[in-house]
Amino acid sequence: MQSAITRSFLGKQRWKPQRAYRTQACHSGTERTFHTSRRRASISDDVRDNRSQGTLKNSPKPIALQLLPRPLGVQNPPKWRPVSREEKNRELFDEDKVIERRDILKRLNQEAYYADVHKLSFHGGKTWIAPPQLIREERSLYFPNMSGKPIGESPPPEDKSQSPENRKEQRMLRGPYIPMEGGKCHTGQIGQGNVSIIAITNSQISQEHVKAWTRGLTDKWRGHERFRFLHVNLQQNPLRTFLVSMFASKLRQEVPKYFHQSYIISYENIDYVREAIGLENKFVGYVYLVDWENRIRWAGCGGPWNGDDSPTTSTQGGPVSEEPTNTPSIAAGRKKDVPEGGLSGQISEGLVQGLGEVERLERCMKVLMNRLDTLVKEGKVL
């Protein structure tokens, strides 16, 4: 039995027919419903079109890639030895460094969560073109120290009593000796006194980028006693770091055995130096050519540009850029004079205009290795 309150409430409710739009024929209920739904469909289509136009207006526009505009790196040389508590406190409460770290965190927090994903749609995430020559030594900056655990054990130090041919054969089979400090490998310690190629990856896409950069170069120079190839698998997420370490056996199958001791899995926080070394997209591979003083003398990012005529194309298949204005020509077969200490403070030595980025890296690598051999013979580098 219904209560009095329920009966009074039901009595007040009245059925109200759906309002029909006036048309030429709207007498039957079927036609009225048809015209109402058509009107609503047209309104939803207009709203959808307006939203799509707004999205296109707010979406980032592709820009033409330019040469690396500045030297990359940090001001201070890398430190890999344990730091005392007093030095940590001095650096932690330094007013200038506190302001610098605060500004960096502000810029990072202003970026969208999927900003790096959206950047992949333009040039495959590539943000600049590698310089055609080495960065001048007096203007070059230092590569920050990165530490991590290798996926394999390092061979013992070389026996100097053996002949150079035997030592080279052992390096070709087992790889070079990699020192460790505190159970970890440090890029600053490994690169001291050597010419190093440091690759930074975070995803499968970046792994393919690094392979395209170093496919033939590492095999060519790995027999040299002063060459080091360091692959840093940078995972700043603790969960991803754990998963990568769990599947280290798969990495050992993919990476050649003579590079196991120099393949480092790192979980360091590099937010304070990310902008300084040009690491703008975590899904893109980066390659750095570092000299015997841990200075960045050359750098490349993304898929290497193959050096075709303008408009150029990258390994991703998309356009890279037209020839930049007021800058050295990057198109194949178009050579222009570059003044010494021009763009990015680069030197004229090792100038490789008109070549792809991989060829530029090979030429700059050769120039740097020849200079190191000369310094070693003169006794200036131990």
**Average confidence (pLDDT) over 26-45:** 47
Q: Which has the minimum average pLDDT: 28-32, 71-75, 171-175, 282-286?
A: 28-32
pLDDT score for 300: 94
Would residue 336 count as lying in a domain? no
Instruction: Please count the other Cβ atoms lying within 10 Å of the Cβ belonging to residue 259.
Output: 18
Overall domain count for the chain: 1
Dist. CA 8–CA 13, nearest whole Å = 9
Q: CA angle 227-230-232, nearest 5°?
A: 170
3-state secondary structure of 130: coil
Does residue 62 fall inside a structural domain? no
Q: 137 phi and psi, to 5 degrees?
A: -60, -40
Q: Strand, helix or coil at 271?
A: coil
Which residues, 6+ apart, have CB-to-CB distance to 206 below 8 Å? 200, 283, 284, 285, 286
Chain centroid to Cα 360, Å, comes to 19
Asked whether residue 101 is assigned to any structural domain, the reply reads yes
Single-letter residue type at 269 = N
Per-residue pLDDT of 72-116, as tens digits, reads: 999 999 988 887 888 888 888 888 888 888 888 888 777 777 778
Query: Is the peptide bond preceding residue 311 cis, with omega within 30 degrees of 0?
Result: yes
What pLDDT does 333 receive? 31
Tokens of 332: 């194949």
Tokens of 19: 């309002």
CATH number at residue 262: 3.40.30.10
Q: Which of the four pLDDT bands, split at 50, 70 and 90, describes residue 262?
A: very high
Cα 46 to its chain centre, rounded Å, is 41
Q: What are phi and psi of 259, to 5 degrees?
A: -115, 10
60 within domain boundaries:
no
In the prediction, which pLDDT does 136 show?
A: 93
Residue 273 lies inside a defined structural domain of this protein: yes
Query: Pairing between strand 263-266 and 227-234?
Result: parallel
For all residues of the chain together, what is the average pLDDT?
76
Give the SS3 label for residue 128: coil
Instruction: Judge whether 129 lies within some domain.
Output: yes
Polymer length of the chain: 382
Please indicate, yes or no, if residue 350 is contained in any of the structural domains. no
Residue 61 has pLDDT above 80, yes or no: no
pLDDT (0 to 100) of residue 236:
78
Phi-psi region of 218 (alpha: psi -120 to 50; beta: other; left: phi over 0): alpha
Would 24 be classed as within a structural domain? no
Supply the range of the domain harboring residue 188: 72-305+358-378
